[in-house]
Amino acid sequence: MFCAFVDRIRVRGGDTECSGRVEIWHAGSWGTVCDDGWNSKAAAVVCSQLDCPSSIIGMGLGNASTGYGKIWLDDVSCDGDESDLWSCRNSGWGNNDCSHSEDVGVI
């Protein structure tokens, strides 16, 4: 399985270096992002951050398995021009009403 990692964000479990479950490093551990509010603009921010081509799929797991650990971000809403995912509007670090069945991925 491929893993792309840049700074504090990575994708895991996909078929390529630019696909898979979105994971973020925060407070000393990797965690996931919930699909509430997720759209193609948020996926584009992730892909730009990872220096990958624009995402063609912005929701779902991107062919990756569900994650584990903390769900770091929820209610993510991006304009598409943010430099990183955590600059998008969100519910705050660790604030969520999700389960890992709602983890997002990109392709």
Q: Compute the distance between CA of residue 42 and CA of residue 47 in angstroms, rounded to an integer.
A: 9
Phi, psi of 41 (to 5 degrees): -70, -40
pTM (2 d.p.): 0.85
Q: Where does the pLDDT of residue 56 fall: very low under 50, low under 70, confident under 90, or very high at 90 and above?
A: low
pLDDT digits (tens, 9 = 90+) for 3-55: 444 568 999 988 888 888 999 999 999 999 999 988 889 999 999 999 998 76
85-100: pLDDT as tens digits: 999 999 999 999 999 9
